[in-house]
Every structure is written in structure tokens, then in C-alpha cells.
Amino acid sequence: MGDINQAGESAKDKAVELREKAIDAAKAKADETNKTRTGKGLRIRVGSTRGKNPQVISFEAFDENASDTLPADFAEFQTLTGVSDEKEIVELLIIGYNDKAYSLASDPIAEYYEPDWSTDLRQGFKASVKGLTATGVLTLEQAVSAVKAALASAKK
């Protein structure tokens, strides 16, 4: 029995290793392609299919972290994506709205935002708190207090 379990674990480990190599290769290829893309437009992302036996996939998407690559208005969105069918656009709007609403509602740091904070300040606050808690040295509440104290001090 021990040999069978070891063989199963070995095969599983090998499959994980092969999947990781495939992801790394796909990411390298996506990085190469993305380096050739400039200005506004879609970039290549890498992910996995859902399910019992995930496969590596590449797809085009907007890079939400690079604001200079994002469309500035509706017409530009249509041009960059090639989506012009009104029903499809409404579907994308609904999916995007729902995704953003979920992200905001499920953000454990959002409850600590001040109502008058700008989006940039909220993002900076969130990044700072996440950075401080990632080390495991500070709890969420301690990190929030430290960052809020620093912000208050900077306003003076």
C-alpha cells in the first residue's frame, strides 16, 4: 500500500511541477508580448481554467494598475475592445459593477476609510496597511492605527 500512495503523491507532485512550468512559460510569453504593446489597450494575462484539472490560459484584459493604458471614455472602450453590441456592453457593465461592488463590500480594510478620502488616498492607505500586516508583526488594527496616525501627523 505504501508504494501505491508514494506513486500517487509522486505523480501529483510531478503534475504540479509541470503546471507551474507551463504557467511560468505562459507568463514569460505574455511579458514579451506586453512589452511590445504601448499606449492604451489590452494586455495579455495568464491564468488557469476552473475545475478538477485546470489548464493554463492566456487572455486579453485591461491592466487596471496602469491607468495610462485604460480607455478614457465609452467610445475609446469600444474601439480598444472591438465590442460595439449594446447588449454585450450592458452585460459587461453589469459584470463589472457586480465585481466592483463585491470587492468593495468584502474589503476588510474598507471599514477603516474616512468618508472624505480620495480614491488615491484609500488605495495608498490599503497598500500601507496590507504591507504592515503581511509581515505578521502587526495586527490589522495596529497597522490601521499606525497608518492613520502617520496621515494625521502629515496633515499638520
Is 141 part of a structural domain of the chain? no
| One-letter amino acid of 18 | L
Please give the distance of CA 124 from its chain centroid, rounded to a whole number. Answer: 16
Closest residue by Cα to residue 31 from 63, 55, 64, 54 = 63
Is 149 part of a structural domain of the chain? no
- Return the pLDDT at 124: 92
Q: Sorting pLDDT into bands at 50, 70 and 90, what band is 7?
A: low
Is 37 part of a structural domain of the chain? yes
Q: Which domain holds residue 17?
A: 1-70
DSSP-assigned letter for residue 109: T
Closest residue by Cα to residue 44 from 54, 30, 65, 25 = 30
- 1 pLDDT more than 60: no
Is 50 part of a structural domain of the chain? yes
Q: Sorting pLDDT into bands at 50, 70 and 90, what band is 153?
A: confident
DSSP-assigned letter for residue 39: S
Is 24 part of a structural domain of the chain? yes
- 29 pLDDT more than 80: yes
Is 6 part of a structural domain of the chain? yes
Using CA atoms, how far apart are residues 35 and 53, in angstroms rounded to an integer? Answer: 31
**Backbone phi, psi, residue 63, to 5°:** -90, 100
| One-letter amino acid of 138 | L
Per the structure, how many domains does the chain have?
1
Classify residue 147 as exposed, middle or buried by CB count within 10 Å of its CB (0-12, 13-18, 19+): buried
Give residue-wise pLDDT tens across range 59-116.
999 999 899 999 999 999 999 999 999 999 999 999 999 999 998 889 889 889 999 9
Give residue-wise pLDDT tens across range 120-152.
999 899 999 999 999 888 999 999 999 999 988
Helix (H) or strand (E) holding 12: helix 2-36
Is 148 part of a structural domain of the chain? no
